[in-house]
Chains A and B, each alone.
Chain A
Amino acid sequence: MQRRESGLELNLSKEKLIEMYRKMVEIRSFEEKVFELYAQNLVPGTIHLYAGEEAVAVGVCSNLRKDDYITSTHRGHGHCIAKGAQLNRIMAEILGKKTGYCEGKGGSMHIADFNIGMLGATAVVGAGIPIAMGAGLSIKLRGTDNVVACFFGDGASNQGTFHEAINMAAVWKLPVIFVCENNVYAMGTCQSRVMLIENIADRAVAYGIPGIVVDGNDVLAVYEAAQEAVERARKGEGPALIECKTYRHKGHSRIDPAKYRPKEEVEEWLHKDPMKRFKEKLLQTNVLLEDEIQQVEKEVSTEIEEAVKFAMESPYPSPKEALEDVYAPM
Chain B
Amino acid sequence: MRKITYKEALREALREEMHRDPTVFLLGEDIGGYWEGAFKVTKGLAEEFGDERVRDTPISESAIIGAAVGAAITGMRPVAEIMFGDLTSLAMDQIANQAAKIHYMFGGQAKVPLVIRTPFGAGVNIAAHHSQSLEAWFMHIPGLYVAVPSTPYDAKGLLKTAIRGSNPVFFCEHKLLYPIEGEVPEEEYTVPFGIANVKKAGSDVTVVATLYMVHKALNAAKELEAEGISVEVVDPRTLTPLDERTIIDSVKKTGRLVVVSEDCKTAGVTAEIAAIVAEEAIDYLDAPVKRVAEPDTPIPFSPPLEQYVIPDEKTIIKAVKEIV
Q: Do A and B come from one complex?
A: yes
Interface residues of A (CB under 8 A from B): 69, 71, 100-106, 110, 112-114, 119-120, 122, 124, 127, 129-139, 141-142, 160-161, 164-165, 167-168, 171, 324-330
Interface residues of B, count at CB 8 A = 44
Quick one: which of A112, A114, A124 contacts B97, CB cutoff 8 A?
A124
Expressed in whole angstroms, the Cα–Cα distance for A131 and B53 within the complex equals 18
* B72, B108, B167 — most chain A CB neighbours (10 Å): B108
Given known pairs A106-B107, A120-B110, A327-B103, the reply for A133 and B62 (CB within 8 Å) is: no
Expressed in whole angstroms, the Cα–Cα distance for A324 and B76 within the complex equals 24
Chain B residue nearest to A93 in the complex (CB): B107
B66 touches A129 (CB 8 A): yes
Quick one: which of B60, B75, B108, B142 contacts A328, CB cutoff 8 A?
B108
Expressed in whole angstroms, the Cα–Cα distance for A69 and B70 within the complex equals 10
Given known pairs A122-B97, A127-B97, A138-B71, the reply for A164 and B105 (CB within 8 Å) is: no
Contacts A101-B106, A138-B71, A167-B58 known; 17 new A-B pairs at CB < 8 A: A100-B107, A106-B105, A112-B110, A119-B73, A120-B110, A127-B93, A130-B63, A131-B66, A132-B70, A134-B71, A137-B70, A142-B75, A164-B60, A165-B67, A171-B58, A326-B103, A330-B167
**Interchain Cβ contacts under 8 Å between A and B, 16 examples:** A102-B106, A105-B107, A114-B110, A124-B93, A130-B65, A134-B70, A137-B67, A138-B74, A141-B76, A161-B63, A165-B66, A168-B58, A168-B63, A327-B145, A328-B108, A330-B165
A119 touches B142 (CB 8 A): no
CB neighbours (8 Å) of B75 from chain A are: 138, 142
Q: How far is the CB of A80 from chain B (nearest CB, A)?
A: 12
Please encode chain B, from 155 to 167, with 1 for each CB lying within 8 Å of some chain A CB and 0 for all others: 0000000000111
A168 touches B107 (CB 8 A): no
> With an 8 A cutoff between CB atoms, is B79 at the interface?
no
Expressed in whole angstroms, the Cα–Cα distance for A138 and B110 within the complex equals 15
Quick one: which of A103, A135, A160 contacts B71, CB cutoff 8 A?
A135
> With an 8 A cutoff between CB atoms, is B94 at the interface?
yes
A328 touches B106 (CB 8 A): no
Given known pairs A102-B106, A120-B102, the reply for A134 and B97 (CB within 8 Å) is: no
> With an 8 A cutoff between CB atoms, is B309 at the interface?
no
A135 touches B74 (CB 8 A): yes
Q: How far is the CB of B205 from chain A (nearest CB, A)?
A: 33
> With an 8 A cutoff between CB atoms, is B104 at the interface?
yes
Q: How far is the CB of A121 from chain B (nearest CB, A)?
A: 9
CB neighbours (8 Å) of B83 from chain A are: none
> With an 8 A cutoff between CB atoms, is B25 at the interface?
yes
Chain B residue nearest to A111 in the complex (CB): B106
Expressed in whole angstroms, the Cα–Cα distance for A71 and B66 within the complex equals 12
Q: How far is the CB of B108 from chain A (nearest CB, A)?
A: 4
Chain B residue nearest to A110 in the complex (CB): B105
CB neighbours (8 Å) of B112 from chain A are: 328
* Interchain residue pairs A-B with the least CB separation, the first 6: A134-B70, A130-B66, A102-B107, A164-B63, A164-B60, A134-B67
B106 touches A120 (CB 8 A): yes
Please encode chain B, from 191 to 205, with 1 for each CB lying within 8 Å of some chain A CB and 0 for all others: 001000000000000
> With an 8 A cutoff between CB atoms, is B47 at the interface?
no
